[in-house]
Amino acid sequence: MTTRTGQSAPARLYVAVNNGGLGGGELMALEVAREARRHGIPCAVVAPARPAGVLAAAAAEGMPCVRIHAAGRRGYLLRLAWWRATHREGLLWCAGLVPAVAALGDRRKVVHLHKLPEGWAQRVLTRAARLGARLTLVPSDFLARHVPGAEVLPNWTLGPDPADLADRPSQRPADRPPTIGYLGRLTSAKGVLDLLAAVEHLADSTRPDVRLVVAGEPLYGGDADEVCRALDAAGDRVDQLGRVNAPADLFARIDLLVVPSRAPESFGLVVAEALAASMPVVVTDAGALPEILPPGHGFVARAGNPSDLAATIDRALTALADPPARTSLTAAGRRRWETSYAPGVGRGRLSTILSRFDESRGGAS
């Protein structure tokens, strides 16, 4: 069953999401819908009825919505496929693999992938889903190497409130020990256990007073219990904030952000957020993370190697203790965000892509 709200005439662009919750791919899908509206392209958002995060956000901005009533991901895929088979008008923007598979054989679609296909089944489905597509988009050069023929459309992120930047001291307060931070899901794939091991190594060697501030929540299931036990076992060396409303809530407390992922990342939104906030950052070489950093101004550790991560953090903290070096690092990071990942830059790239499909400007329908 489907329910349509907010628009009686057919759309020329339908933006279909992977999930009903507001993840990174879904937020980018809403940006696509916003930019289409700026172009004057009639657009509707297609999403599961539950959870309703995407639909609620779209409706709050007055966007027409198509609610797909289904149980579970498989049910959503099947219902979405039926809906598209009976609503052939307009271009379908598939924001993820699920809608792309639901539209197998459809030649009026764009496939916008946000994750590296995992395992043979996803790789086969990705190839099949792309057949006949007008265009395939991915957020990084790393992912483009794994999806031949795809075009890169990097993600973007809002900059911080200027007041947050103005209030942050240019150097670490004298009464605060060297403090590093983590922002993200609390899983071993994100490198949390490696980061804890690196902090322990630093505390036992060159940085006995080092502190770690962790912002994020565990994913239930998997290794959530193991990660939570390890965080608790770290004692007062680790401060757990839980979920924060904005990255600035963490950045105000730390000297250096660490993104210690083991799993290959398709982009690295938290890295872009750090660059925007002039926050120094250490990453691993997992997937696209290194390419987000400004060339020649980054600290990159080997993924899955706590001792190398500890050494890289130590080098970064040493560099940041020198005011000119810190200024150079943070300025380079901010410039990287301004030229590559700021909203105006990203929306400009997206606008160019959408113009190819805008009938009023001679594009394909």
CATH of residue 85's domain is: 3.40.50.2000
The answer on 91 and 205 residing in a single domain is: no
Residue 272: the pLDDT is 97
Q: Residue 220 pLDDT more than 50?
A: yes
The answer on 304 and 241 residing in a single domain is: yes
pLDDT band at 356 (very low <50, low <70, confident <90, very high): confident
Q: Residue 167 pLDDT more than 70?
A: no
Residue 365: the pLDDT is 47
Q: Provide the β-strand partners of residue 344.
A: none
Q: Residue 364 pLDDT more than 80?
A: no
The answer on 93 and 21 residing in a single domain is: yes
Beta strands in 38-176 (DSSP E): 43-48, 65-68, 91-95, 109-112, 135-138, 151-152
Q: What is the pLDDT of residues 108-124, one digit of tens each?
A: 999 999 999 989 999 99
Number of domains in the chain: 2
Q: What is the mean pLDDT of residues 227-237?
A: 93
Look up the pTM and report it: 0.90
DSSP state of 235: G
Q: What is the pLDDT of residues 65-83, one digit of tens each?
A: 999 999 999 999 999 999 9
Domain span holding position 231: 162-341
Q: Number of helices and strands (H, E) in the chain? A: 15, 14
Q: What is the mean pLDDT of residues 122-147?
A: 96
Give the whole-angstrom CA distance, residue 326 versus residue 37. 41
Q: What is the mean pLDDT of residues 334-353?
A: 96
Q: Provide the β-strand partners of residue 45.
A: 15, 65
Asked, as a colleague might, if the bond just before 208 is cis with ω within 30 of 0, I would say: no
Residue 273: the pLDDT is 96
